Structure 1
């Protein structure tokens, strides 16, 4: 879209502009992918060269997909006033072993 607005209708014209204005030499195949397809990824240096060659900003070249409405987040769990002030109680491995809740990576020998 930005290229067409500036009178660039072919990948060859875009490649020439990149060489003249941005001093960037790109292969015909690379420019063709940028010009005719939706590239999966673009280096920042390439994006900068395109902006320089077409005299535009990245926002003129990039189109974001239509946003879906955000999914509402569930409300946070209610905490008592004491819980919101006090830090959580530290874990005590010795107490967990006594209670039988400690996790072991290997069975006892």
Structure 2
């Protein structure tokens, strides 16, 4: 499963072009004070995790839903077919006289 962070696109659709503008909106509309560095990181990078409260504040500030901010690719992952397991033929080892025997039945 692949997840794509679409904050910049959602912000651009609402004519928010910079992290500074987003930071101001978060404070004014959602009451969330974030550092410039944190807003910049959200705006320019794909985060590995986002707090639910931050996600809710982003949705409030941008007047959008989480679906506008996060795209999830639910295409099933194809796994390679497992090669068949090879079964050793132990009867030849006994015949060849190498001292090996068959396990008890």
Tell me the secondary structure at the aligned position of residue 64 of structure 1: strand
Count of residues paired in the alignment:
74
1:55 is aligned to 63
Q: Which has the higher contact order (CA 8 A, sep 6+)?
A: 2
Pairing 1:6–2:14 present: yes
Cα distance per residue 1:25-62 (max 9 Å; x no partner) = 00111101110110111000000000000000000000
2:86 is aligned to none
Could you say which structure has the higher strand fraction?
Answer: 2
Partners of 1:45 and 1:66 in 2: CA distance: 25
Q: CA deviation at 1:69?
A: 5.1
Partners of 1:34 and 1:68 in 2: CA distance: 28
Query: Where in structure 2 are the equivalents of 1:16-95 lying within 5 Å?
Result: 16-65=24-73, 67-68=75-76
Give the root-mean-square deviation of aligned CA atoms. 2.3
Q: CA deviation at 1:70?
A: 5.4
Gaps of 5+ in 1: 72-109
- State TM-score, norm by structure 1: 0.61
